[in-house]
Structure 1
Amino acid sequence: MYKKEFHVLIKYCFLKGKNTVEAKTWLDAEFPDTAAPKSAMKYWYTKFRRSEMSTEDGENSGRPKDVVTEENI
């Protein structure tokens, strides 16, 4: 299952009033091979509690994967 789909399922559990333990238990039972890790559950619940209801991953800042400069050519 794709990450985006898990984000939506985690949001569904949050809106239904389940806590992270209940949501993790439900996801593990329904999707035993592909369930999200506990840290991801906590991250998304924290995000939803701050009223950030988007299930999209945010933009990552930092160094780009490939940097072309005169020094490394």
Structure 2
Amino acid sequence: MDKKKFCVLMKYCFLKGKNTVEAKTFLGAEFPNTALAKSAINDCYAKFRRGEMSTEDGERSGRPKEVVTDENI
């Protein structure tokens, strides 16, 4: 399962009032074959506490993607 789907599940846990330890226990019980790092849970919870309830990845600063064409190579 990808990180976006886990973030949706973590949002569910957050809205239910579970803390990060309870969320990790819940996700570990429901999805035993996929390991989710505690830091990923903490990051999502920190975002939710700030009021950012979107589960989409935000824009990132940095170098833009370049199109690979024969002229660039």
Range into which the TM-score falls when normalised by the shorter chain = 0.7 to 0.9
TM-score, normalised to structure 2, is: 0.82
Map 1:8-27; keep pairs closer than 5 Å: 8-27=8-27
1:57 equivalent in structure 2: 57
Q: Return the alpha-carbon distance in structure 2 between the equivalents of residues 60 and 36 of structure 1.
A: 23
1:45 equivalent in structure 2: 45
Q: Return the alpha-carbon distance in structure 2 between the equivalents of residues 61 and 45 of structure 1.
A: 22
| 1:24-57 deviation line (CA, Å, top 9, x unaligned) | 0110111112142100100000000011000001
Structure 1: segments with no counterpart, 5+ residues? none
* Aligned sequence identity (%): 75
Query: What SS does the aligned partner of 1:14 have?
Result: helix
CA-atom RMSD, angstroms? 1.8
Equivalenced residues, count: 70
Over 6 Å off, 4+ runs: none
Deviation at 1:67, TM superposition (A): 8.7
Q: Return the alpha-carbon distance in structure 2 between the equivalents of residues 61 and 67 of structure 1.
A: 18
